[in-house]
Amino acid sequence: MQSRLMLNTFNKLKNKKNNSMTTYNKPVRSVVLGIGSYLPEKIVTNDDLAKIVDTSDEWIRERSGIHQRHIAADDEITSDLAIKAAKRAIKDAGIDGTKIDLIVLATSTPDNTFPATATKVQAALGITDGVAFDVQAVCSGFVFALNTADAMIRCGQANKALVIGAETFSRILDWKDRSTCVLFGDGAGAVVLGAQEGEGTNNDRGILAAKMRSDGKHYDKLYVDGGPSSTQTVGYLRMQGPEVFKHAVKNISSVVLETLDLVHMPISQVDWFVPHQANKRILDGAAKKLKLTRDQVVVTVDRHGNTSAASVPLALDEAVKDGRIKPNDVVLLEAMGGGFTWGAVLLRW
């Protein structure tokens, strides 16, 4: 109901770009035009990590489902990963990249404290129009960025958006802390969204519903112990793993159901579940609670580890490129991370 109202409110808005005006007479949808991703070349296995901390391949596989992760080269930074993923998404969309008028980049590992890494991507793509900014919601970042871009497209502030999740978490890991350093990896994923007219029903292609949540009372359960204002250092990731685990399945399941409820869609109509890839046990727990089959769940955590804001678009790209996700399929994305933050996006591919 809520999203239907928003669609109706904004369907007459005009979109201005390069002096051309587009008038939408029907509800506007943000449709995915293209997708791309990038993983650094270097692969680090569990056995490699067992050489530097007191751990084992068996423990990591059993507790997290992770077998390996990709780690950025010394001279690779978050914007490098983001630009590669963005170029692949633009090529996949078959559009002129300079026509993109909105870039929302989700990251907690920006190149610099400021400016936004998104502006570096914007310049590298030769875009001089529109706006580019970062979103910081840790592992929920891509879901938050997608929802932000969708809202801007539907209210006529943007026509073509590039939404990116890009991280180099290897730079904020304490490589002496076995409870965290074995869990994360580096990577980037991106989608290009375009404004298209729909009918305002769940049969439309594009984003159908989204929900974002946060609860700051859990701030210190997953955080980085440094920052420009507090310590003037970058700091290292700290996590109360079991505490995060405890909230994960509950929060993920509830936000997924709340999102479906916004458009009165039963979960039986969902074809694919593309969750944030933190821990295979969390994915299994959420899928079971939501009564989704294992075959409906896209899993990359075994090969990518937890790539924070990059994990959802990386998994989505894999499932699109290998032919699982096809046009018109209903796809449910979700994520949860530091803050706590959590959210879901429902879309028809």
**Among the listed residues 11, 30, 147, 306, the single contact to ligand UT7 using CB under 6 A:** 306
Residue owning tokens 């790209």:
317
Chain CA centroid to CA 102, Å: 16
**Among the listed residues 55, 148, 170, 341, the single contact to ligand UT7 using CB under 6 A:** 55
337 makes contact with ligand UT7 (CB under 6 A) = yes
**Among the listed residues 135, 158, 182, 309, the single contact to ligand UT7 using CB under 6 A:** 182
**Quick one: which segment of 30-38, 115-123, 200-208, 240-248 binds ligand UT7 (CB under 6 A)?**
240-248
Specify the DSSP class assigned to residue 120. H
Question: Taking the CB of residue 52, how many other CB atoms lie within 10 A of it?
Answer: 13
The catalytic site residues sit at 139, 276, 306
What's the CA gap between 103 and 117, in Å, rounded?
Answer: 10
**Quick one: which segment of 151-159, 208-216, 277-285, 321-329 binds ligand UT7 (CB under 6 A)?**
277-285
Q: What is the DSSP string of 92-105?
A: HHTS-GGG--EEEE
Stretch 183-222: interaction string toward ligand UT7, x if CB under 6 A: x--------------------------------------x
248 makes contact with ligand UT7 (CB under 6 A) = yes
What's the CA gap between 179 and 289, in Å, rounded?
Answer: 27
**Quick one: which segment of 167-175, 207-215, 244-252, 297-305 binds ligand UT7 (CB under 6 A)?**
244-252
Closer to ligand UT7 by CB, 192 or 298: give it. Answer: 298
Report the relative pairing of strands 160-168 and 102-106 from DSSP bridges. Answer: parallel
What's the CA gap between 213 and 210, in Å, rounded?
Answer: 10
Among 77, 168, 171, which Cα is nearest to 121's? Answer: 77
**Among the listed residues 278, 287, 301, 346, the single contact to ligand UT7 using CB under 6 A:** 278
Strands (E), 128-197: 131-135, 160-168, 186-197
**Among the listed residues 59, 87, 205, 302, the single contact to ligand UT7 using CB under 6 A:** 59
Residue owning tokens 């201005």:
16
**Quick one: which segment of 22-30, 58-66, 290-298, 324-332 binds ligand UT7 (CB under 6 A)?**
58-66
178 makes contact with ligand UT7 (CB under 6 A) = yes
Specify the DSSP class assigned to residue 181. H
What's the CA gap between 32 and 340, in Å, rounded?
Answer: 28
253 makes contact with ligand UT7 (CB under 6 A) = no
The residue number with the shortest CB distance to ligand UT7 is: 241
Q: What angle do CA 253, 264, 315 make, to 5 degrees?
A: 45
Measure CA of the first residue to CA of the last residue in the chain; give whole Å. 21
Beta bridge partners of 69: 44
What does residue 102 show for φ and ψ, rounded to 5 degrees? -150, 130
Among 168, 166, 206, which Cα is nearest to 36's? Answer: 166
**Among the listed residues 6, 155, 171, 241, the single contact to ligand UT7 using CB under 6 A:** 241
63 makes contact with ligand UT7 (CB under 6 A) = yes
Closer to ligand UT7 by CB, 94 or 242: give it. Answer: 242
Closer to ligand UT7 by CB, 30 or 37: give it. Answer: 37
**Among the listed residues 242, 266, 323, 327, the single contact to ligand UT7 using CB under 6 A:** 242
Task: Point out which residues bind ligand UT7 (CB under 6 A).
Answer: 55, 59-60, 63-64, 139, 178-179, 182-183, 222, 241-242, 244-245, 248, 278-279, 282, 306, 336-337
